[in-house]
Amino acid sequence: MDKVIIANNLSLSYSSNETIINQADFSVNSGSFVFITGASGSGKSTLLKSIYGALKPNQGSLIVGGVELSGVSNTKLNFLRRHIGIVFQDYKLVKEWTIEKNIMLPLIINGYDKNIIQNQVDTLLKHVRLKHQAGKHPLELSGGEQQRVAMARALSHNPILILADEPTGNLDDYSSQLIWNLLEGAHKQLKTTVIVVTHHIPESLNVDYKHFHIEYGRINEVN
């Protein structure tokens, strides 16, 4: 099976005197569903940042979608990011844009045709049950609704990899369930690789998953 992520002897840190991830070796198969757990400050989000290239490895190598991220050029990194969908705990929506335009963003960047963009956005708005809110701005929505917009944006361009950083951390049960259903659907129907950083793995989820636990800078696979 193809590997979408390969890490060898990977070390990550923000400063020279503190290593967050220390000499980790792991890989993620294409089309798999992965959970990353660990205590607060253990390095879960740091690992995710390195996967989308916001943090370069200090040591070792990290290959994502065939792109080596140590010393990667901006052009290559942009190319890789166009095939990744990211969901953040704080949503990261553009406040001055409508939710419709926020969802369109990856499609515009990938150069899709206007009609395709509109159809895709309409479908996604129905999936996240926000069709009636299309013209509103993010700050007019609740936290749960904003996260559903972020989820729709992450799915809009059918990425090869979805990264979700504590996507249900601040959400009510209804929105949380909707987010898990969307992640499960993308994984099952589109064979998208999904990596979720979380404190709790939901019991209701009906997928085979791989589980990595981070402790003291080490990444361990949990059976």
Would you give the distance in Å from CA 192 to the centre of its chain? 11
**Which one of the spans 106-114, 127-135, 164-172, 173-181 is the region binding another protein (CB under 8 A)?**
106-114
Contact indicator for 195, 167 with CB cutoff of 8 Å = no
Pick between residue 90 and residue 221 the one whose CB is nearest to another protein: 90
User: Which residues ranging from 24 to 83 are in contact with another protein (CB under 8 A)?
Assistant: 49, 52, 54-55, 74-75, 77-83
Give how many residues touch another protein by CB under 8 A.
Answer: 28
CB nearer to another protein: give 33 or 52. 52
Residue number with CB closer to another protein (70 or 206)? 70
- Of the candidate residues 5, 12, 86, 186, the single one contacting another protein (CB under 8 A): 86
Instruction: Measure the CA–CA gap between 96 and 102, rounded to whole angstroms.
Output: 9
Reading the block at residue 108, the tokens are: 């515009």
Q: Does 130 bind another protein (CB under 8 A)?
A: no
Burial 93-117 (b: 16+ CB within 10 A, else e): beeeebbbbbbbebbeeeebeeeeb
Q: State which of residues 6, 63, 67, 105 lies at the interface with another protein (CB under 8 A).
A: 105
Which lies closer to another protein via its Cβ, residue 94 or residue 207?
Answer: 94
- Cβ proximity to another protein: between 153 and 187 the closer is 153
Return all residues near 76 (Cβ < 8 A) that are at least 6 apart: 67
Minimum Å gap between C-beta 21 and another protein is 14
Query: Site residues for another protein, window 162-221 (CB under 8 A)?
Result: none
Distance (Å, rounded) from C-alpha 122 to C-alpha 130? 10
Q: Please tell me the distance from the alpha carbon of residue 126 to that of residue 155, in angstroms, as a whole number.
A: 13
The distance of closest approach from Cβ of residue 109 to another protein in the complex, given in angstroms and rounded to an integer, is 5
Helices (H), the chain: 44-51, 74-81, 99-109, 114-127, 143-155, 173-190
- Whole-number Å distance between alpha carbons of 89 and 72: 26
Under the rule (CB under 8 A), what is the footprint of another protein? Answer: 14, 49, 52, 54-55, 74-75, 77-84, 86, 92-97, 105-106, 108-110, 153
